[in-house]
Amino acid sequence: MSETAQQRSRIMRAVKSRDTKPEMAVRRLLHRMGYRYRIHRSDLPGKPDIVFAGRRKVIFVHGCFWHGHDCPRGARTPASNTAYWTAKIARNIERDHETVVQLANAKWATLIVWECGLRDQTALADRLKAFLG
């Protein structure tokens, strides 16, 4: 397998799994901080990854590449099937935006945690605390 094909299949595998590694890392951190939550509420727009029903707050954990984050990892362009990936990621960005708007209209607050934001766990914990209160 070429490197890009290998990369692509790794990305596809990561996308297929619901409990992706970055999401699990955020859940573990929240748990350690004493927060309790539900996951993958399919009755809410965008099926949020982590749901705090009492607070009407949700968290999405987004992969930087897949959701087109404005960071070095998100700016990476696959060498093959470039048009396919570019279009797909553009659709994801659009869908993510619509989801936040729909949730806001239903009086739910949304926090997006990016994969690249997991490296600094202290900063992330502060952000989570600020968001959740």
Site for Zn ion (CB under 5 A): which residue of 60, 65, 108, 114? Answer: 114
Could you tell me which stretch among 44-52, 70-78, 97-105, 123-131 binds Zn ion (CB under 5 A)?
A: 70-78
Buried b (16+ CB within 10 A) or exposed e, 108-123: bebbebbbbbbeeeee
**What is the token pair recorded at 95?**
């869908």
One DSSP character per residue, 25-72 reads: HHHHHHHHTT---EE--TTSTT--SEEETTTTEEEEEE-TTTTT-SSH
Question: Which range, of 49-57, 82-90, 95-103, 113-121, touches Zn ion by CB under 5 A?
Answer: 113-121
Nearer Cβ to Zn ion (30/64): 64
Q: Measure the CA–CA gap between 5 and 80, rounded to whole angstroms.
A: 8
The only residue of 71, 109, 118, 125 in contact with Zn ion, by rule CB under 5 A: 71
Site size toward Zn ion (CB under 5 A) is 6
Which one of 10-18, 37-45, 47-55, 111-119 is the stretch in contact with Zn ion (CB under 5 A)? 111-119
Q: Residue 69 interacts with Zn ion (CB under 5 A)?
A: yes
